[in-house]
Amino acid sequence: MHRILPFALLLFTYLALSTSAGLLNLVLGSLIAMGILWLLRPRRLAANWRRLPSAFLSLGRYVTTLANNVIRSGIHISALVLHPDLPLKSGIIAVPPECDSELGRALGAHAISLPPGELFIEMDDDGTMYIHSLDVIETQRSVQSGQARRCQLMKQMFD
118-123 and 129-133 beta bridge pairing: antiparallel
pLDDT band with cut points at 50, 70 and 90 for residue 91: very high
Starting at the earlier edge strand, list the strands of the sheet with 129-133.
91-95, 129-133, 118-123
100-154 pLDDT, tens digit per residue, is 888 888 888 888 888 888 888 999 888 888 999 888 888 888 877 788 888 888 8
pLDDT (average), residues 12-28? 88
Percent of the chain with pLDDT over 70: 94
Entry pTM: 0.65
Return the sign of the alpha-carbon dihedral for residues 137, 138, 139, 145: positive
**pLDDT single digits (tens) 115-125:** 888 888 999 88
Task: Say which residue, 20 or 18, is predicted with more confidence.
Answer: 18
Which pLDDT value is given to residue 125? 86
Question: Which pLDDT belongs to residue 43?
Answer: 66
* pLDDT reading at 80 higher than 80: yes
Give dist(CA 133, CA 39) in Å, integer. 41
Asked whether residue 1 carries a pLDDT value surpassing 60, the answer given is no
- pLDDT bin (cut points 50, 70, 90) of residue 42 is low
